[in-house]
Amino acid sequence: MKKVYLLFISLLLSWGITAQISIQGFPRNDLNQEQTGTLKSAKKLKSAADETFSFDDIEYWVGEGSNKAALVVQWNDGKTQDALVWGYKWDGDAYGIDMINAIAKADPRFYILEYYTGAGLGSAIGGFGFDLDQKNTIALILSGDTTYPDYPVDGIVATYSYNFDNWTSSDTNDHWQSGWNSAYWSYWVKEEGGSFGYSGLGASSRKLKDGSWDAWSFAPGLVSQPLSETFTGVSTYQETEYDYTKGIFFVNEDWFGHADGSVNFLTENGDFIYNAYRKENDGHTLGVTTQYGTIYGDNFYLVSKQKGTEAKKGGRLVIADAKTLKKKASFDDIGGGDGRTFIGVDENTGYIGTSKGIYLFDIKNLTVGNLIEGTGGNNYQIGNMIRTSKYVFATKQSTGVFVIDPISHTIIQTIANTSVNTITQSKDGNVWIGAGSKLIKVNPLTLETEEITVSASISGSWGAWNAGGFCSSTQNNVLYWTSGGGFIGGGNTVIKYDIDTDTLNTSFYQIPGQEGSYNQVFYGAGLRIDPVTDNLVITTTENGYGSHYQKNWVHIVTNEGVLSNTYQLNDYYWFTALPVFPDNSTPKLSETASTKLASSIDINSVTDIDLKDKVTDDDNFALAIVKSLKETDNDGVISAVIDEQDRLVITPVKVGTAILEIIFNSNGKIVKHELTVNVTSLMGTDDIKTTLSLQLYPNPFTEYFFVEADKASTLSIYSVTGAKVHEQALSNGKNRINVPNLNSGIYIIKVDNKTYKIIKR
Whether 562 and 643 map to the same domain: the answer is: no
For residues 365 and 290, give the distance between their C-alpha atoms in angstroms, rounded to a whole number.
23
Per DSSP, 399 falls in state T
For residues 156 and 169, give the distance between their C-alpha atoms in angstroms, rounded to a whole number.
13
Whether 553 and 605 map to the same domain: the answer is: no
Read off the pTM: 0.82
Whether 652 and 701 map to the same domain: the answer is: no
For residues 376 and 394, give the distance between their C-alpha atoms in angstroms, rounded to a whole number.
12
Asked whether the predicted pLDDT for residue 569 surpasses 90, the reply is yes
Whether 676 and 699 map to the same domain: the answer is: no
- Check if the beta carbon of residue 147 is closer than 8 Å to that of residue 174: no
**pLDDT tens per residue, range 623-671:** 899 999 888 888 888 888 887 778 898 888 889 999 999 999 999 999 9
Provide the CA 159 distance to its chain's centre, in angstroms: 31
**pLDDT band per the 50, 70, 90 thresholds, residue 688:** very low
Whether 101 and 157 map to the same domain: the answer is: yes
Pairing outcome for strands 669-679 and 656-666: antiparallel
Strand partners, 756: 749
For residues 64 and 66, give the distance between their C-alpha atoms in angstroms, rounded to a whole number.
7
One-letter amino acid for residue 492 of the chain: N
One-letter amino acid for residue 3 of the chain: K
In-domain check, residue 654: yes
User: Mean of the per-residue pLDDT values for the chain?
Assistant: 89
**pLDDT tens per residue, range 369-398:** 999 999 998 778 999 999 999 999 999 999
**pLDDT band per the 50, 70, 90 thresholds, residue 178:** very high
Instruction: Report how far apart, in Å, the C-alpha atoms of 710 and of each of 690, 735, 749, 751 are.
Output: 15, 11, 16, 12
Average pLDDT for residues 697-720, to the nearest whole number? 85
Q: How many CB atoms lie within 10 A of CB 201?
A: 16
Asked whether the predicted pLDDT for residue 687 surpasses 60, the reply is no
What is the count of structural domains for the chain? 4
In-domain check, residue 412: no
Closest CA to 344 of 752, 668, 708: 668
Whether 671 and 720 map to the same domain: the answer is: no
Instruction: Report how far apart, in Å, the C-alpha atoms of 749 and of each of 470, 631, 758 are.
Output: 40, 16, 7
Expressed as residue numbers, the domain containing 563 is: 459-572
Q: Give the list of residues 6+ apart from residue 587 with CB closer than 8 angstroms, or none.
A: 615, 616, 617, 620, 625, 664, 665, 666, 669, 670, 671
**pLDDT tens per residue, range 492-533:** 999 999 999 999 999 999 998 755 567 899 999 999 999 999
Pairing outcome for strands 140-142 and 110-116: unpaired
Q: Identify the CATH number of the domain in which residue 618 sits.
A: 2.60.40.10
**pLDDT band per the 50, 70, 90 thresholds, residue 683:** low
Whether 566 and 603 map to the same domain: the answer is: no
Strand partners, 301: 294, 319
For residues 140 and 482, give the distance between their C-alpha atoms in angstroms, rounded to a whole number.
35
Domain boundary among 506, 537, 572: 572
In-domain check, residue 423: no
**pLDDT tens per residue, range 422-461:** 999 999 999 999 999 999 999 998 899 999 999 999 987 8
Whether 166 and 227 map to the same domain: the answer is: yes
Instruction: Report how far apart, in Å, the C-alpha atoms of 339 and of each of 249, 463, 469, 539 are.
Output: 19, 14, 19, 22
Closest CA to 746 of 594, 635, 592: 635
Whether 678 and 697 map to the same domain: the answer is: no
For residues 620 and 473, give the distance between their C-alpha atoms in angstroms, rounded to a whole number.
10
For residues 390 and 401, give the distance between their C-alpha atoms in angstroms, rounded to a whole number.
15
Whether 30 and 168 map to the same domain: the answer is: yes
The larger pLDDT score, comparing residue 123 to residue 682, is at 123
In-domain check, residue 409: no
Average pLDDT for residues 168-185, to the nearest whole number? 93
Asked whether the predicted pLDDT for residue 106 surpasses 80, the reply is yes
Q: Give the list of residues 6+ apart from residue 16 with CB closer than 8 angstroms, or none.
A: none
Whether 592 and 565 map to the same domain: the answer is: no
Domain boundary among 233, 249, 276: 233
Q: In what order do the strands lie in the sheet with 410-416?
A: 382-387, 392-396, 400-405, 410-416
Q: Give the list of residues 6+ apart from residue 679 with CB closer than 8 angstroms, or none.
A: 603, 604, 637, 638, 652, 653, 654, 655, 656, 657, 658
The SS3 call for residue 556 is: strand
For residues 653 and 643, give the distance between their C-alpha atoms in angstroms, rounded to a whole number.
18
Whether 554 and 621 map to the same domain: the answer is: no
In-domain check, residue 262: no
Closest CA to 339 of 287, 377, 403: 287
Three-state SS letters, 294-309: EEECCEEEEEEEECCC
Closest CA to 262 of 249, 277, 273, 272: 277
Q: Identify the CATH number of the domain in which residue 704 sits.
A: 2.60.40.1930
For residues 657 and 153, give the distance between their C-alpha atoms in angstroms, rounded to a whole number.
66
Asked whether the predicted pLDDT for residue 42 surpasses 90, the reply is no
For residues 404 and 169, give the distance between their C-alpha atoms in angstroms, rounded to a whole number.
54
pLDDT at 9: 35
The larger pLDDT score, comparing residue 562 to residue 120, is at 562
In-domain check, residue 406: no
The larger pLDDT score, comparing residue 503 to residue 182, is at 503
In-domain check, residue 739: yes
**pLDDT tens per residue, range 69-91:** 999 999 999 999 899 999 999 99
pLDDT at 101: 97
**pLDDT tens per residue, range 299-356:** 999 999 999 998 889 999 999 999 999 999 999 999 999 999 999 999 999 999 999 9
Asked whether the predicted pLDDT for residue 686 surpasses 50, the reply is no
Domain boundary among 687, 718, 741: 687
- Check if the beta carbon of residue 631 is closer than 8 Å to that of residue 658: yes
What share of the chain has pLDDT > 70, as a percent?
Answer: 92
What share of the chain has pLDDT > 90, as a percent?
Answer: 66
pLDDT at 19: 46
Cis peptide before 652 (omega within 30 of 0): no
φ/ψ of 188, rounded to 5, equals: -125, 140
Asked whether the predicted pLDDT for residue 10 surpasses 60, the reply is no
In-domain check, residue 219: yes
